Amino acid sequence: MSVTQLETAPGTQAASSTADEPMIHTHDLTKKYGELFALNRLNLTLHRGDVYGFIGPNGAGKTTTMRILATLLNPSWGEASVCGYSIYTGAKEIRRAIGYMPDFFGVYDDMKVIEYLEFFAAAYRIKGAKRKKICDEVLNLVDLTYKRDAMVTSLSRGMTQRLGLARVLLHNPQVLLLDEPASGLDPRARIEIRGVLKELQKMGKTILVSSHILPELADICNKIGIIEQGVLIVNGAVTDVMKQVRTTIVLNINVAERRKEAADFLERQPEVEEVQERPDYLMVKLRPEVERFSDLARRLIENGFELTLFREDEINLETAFMRLTKGITS
C-alpha cells in the first residue's frame, strides 16, 4: 500500500484557515421523525487527523448523523459544519471535501473494477493521464491492484467494501464518513479494512467511522463515541472511554513452554485476581482497580517465559460494552 502518492493528488482543501479549527463540528444536532428522536442534541468535534469511532446498536442514529453531515438529510434543528462549511449554506463545498461511504451501496454489474473507478473519476472531472494515475493509486491503497481487470460482480463482500472505499478516495477528500465499512465481513476481511483505515489515518485524513462493535474500532481510533437511541452516552479519548466501559480487564496469555509454571507465576502477581487454564491459553482476570498491564508482560519475559500470546480478551470487552449501552437507557 502506498501512502505518499495520494497525498500529492489534487483534491479539495478545507475552508479551515487554522489547524485548530474543527473538521467536523455539531452543536445540539437533532433529527425528529414524528415523535421519535433519531438524533437528540448531538455535540461532536473532530479535528484534523482524528479517527472517531462512532459506536452504537441498530437504530442508534449513526446513519442519520452521517447523512446530515454529508448534506443528504436536513436536521430538525441544531448546527453542523464540515471543513468549516455549514451544512445549511455550504452543501456544495462539503460534498467536494468529503468521501461518504454509505452502509449499503450498489455497484454497476457489467463493469471491470478499473472501469468502475474511472467512471467515478470522470464524474469528479479527473481527466486523462491524471485519471489513470489516481485510479491506480487508490487501487493500490486498498490492495485491489490484482483485481484491476476483474468484473465488480465477481468480488467478495470484503473486496467490494474496499472498492467502495477506493471510490470515495478518488477526489482526495480530507474528511471521510464511513458507515459500517466492516459490517458483514469475515474476520480476515475486517482486518484488511482496518489496515486501509490505518493507512488513511497516517495520511492525516479526518475519519468518522461507525460500527456496532467496539473492539473492532478501539485500536484504530483516537476518539470514541457511543450512541444509543439518538443520545451520545459516552464521548472521549479511547483510553478514557475504555475505562468507563470495562469494569475488569481479562487477558489471554500463552507461553511457548512451562504453561503451568507461568500460571503459578501469574497468580502471585499483585494485579492478578484469577488465572484459569483454557485449552490453548491462560485466561487471566485482573483486579478491578488495575488499568495498565504492560508491566505484567515485562515481568513474564524477565522471568524467562517466551510469550506467544498476550492480549486483552475481546469478548470480555464486548460484554462490558453491551452492559454499558443497555444499562444507560433501559
Binding site for ligand ATP (CB under 6 A): 33, 36, 38, 56, 58-64, 103
Residue 74 CB, nearest approach to ligand ATP (Å): 12
Beta-strand relationship, 206-211 and 175-178 = parallel
Retrieve residue 329's grid coordinates.
Answer: 437507557
Q: At closest approach, how far in Å is the CB of 35 from ligand ATP? A: 10
How far does CA 296 lie from the centroid of its chain?
A: 29
User: Of 7 and 318, which CB lies nearer to ligand ATP in the complex structure?
Assistant: 318
Nearer to ligand ATP, 104 or 108 (CB): 104
| Rg, the chain, Cα only | 22
Minimum CB separation of residue 107 from ligand ATP in Å reads: 20
The nearest distance, CB 34 to ligand ATP, in angstroms, is 7
Evaluate whether 61 touches 42 at the Cβ level (below 8 Å). yes
Q: State in angstroms the smallest separation of the CB of 88 from ligand ATP.
A: 20
Q: How far is the CB of 212 from ligand ATP (least distance, A)?
A: 6
Q: Which is nearer to ligand ATP, 56 or 75 (CB)?
A: 56
Beta strands 24-33 and 98-101, pairing class? unpaired
Scan for cell 459506536, then name that residue.
55
Nearer to ligand ATP by C-beta: 11 or 181?
181
The label of the residue with cell 485500536 reads: 219
Enter the C-alpha cell of residue 290.
488495575
List the one residue out of 247, 208, 245 whose CA is nearest residue 101. Answer: 208
Name which of 10 and 59 has its Cβ closer to ligand ATP.
59
Contact 100, 177 (CB under 8 A): yes
C-beta of residue 221 within 8 angstroms of C-beta of residue 316: no
Minimum CB distance to ligand ATP smaller for 49 or for 57: 57
Q: Which residue has the cell 480487564?
A: 249
